[in-house]
Amino acid sequence: MNRLEEIKAVFDSQGLVTNADIAALVAALEAALALHKPEGGPSDPACCPICVDELGMFADELGMFAEAYPCPTVTAIQSALGEGE
């Protein structure tokens, strides 16, 4: 069982999370958002190079990307947090 599964299991069974659990969850989200930080691109001033690579769309010769930001990962995180609705 990984850390996220442990936190969820305790919450599901006891309805509790500790301050350490909250800190771990926040750190995980911050790490994911840091990886998906926008960079400039030709079709949009903010693009996610991580998701572009995962979709098999690599940077052009100028190092520009075409995947608009927010990417699917950031959108999923924002949606789960109740943002951007």
* Threshold 0.85, pTM exceeds: no
41 and 80 share one domain = yes
Count up the domains in the chain and report the number: 2
At residue 2 the predicted structure's pLDDT band, cuts being 50, 70 and 90, is very high
1 and 17 share one domain = yes
Q: Are 47 and 35 in contact (CB under 8 A)?
A: no
12 and 47 share one domain = no
49, exposed or middle or buried, with CB in 10 Å at 0-12, 13-18, 19+? buried
79 and 49 share one domain = yes
Whole-number pLDDT of residue 10: 93
- The answer for residues whose C-beta is within 8 angstroms of residue 8's C-beta and 6 or more apart is none
Q: What are the tens digits of pLDDT across the range 19-59?
A: 999 999 999 999 999 988 887 655 555 777 777 665 555 45
51 and 67 share one domain = yes
74 and 60 share one domain = yes
40 and 9 share one domain = no
Residue 19: give the domain boundaries: 1-33
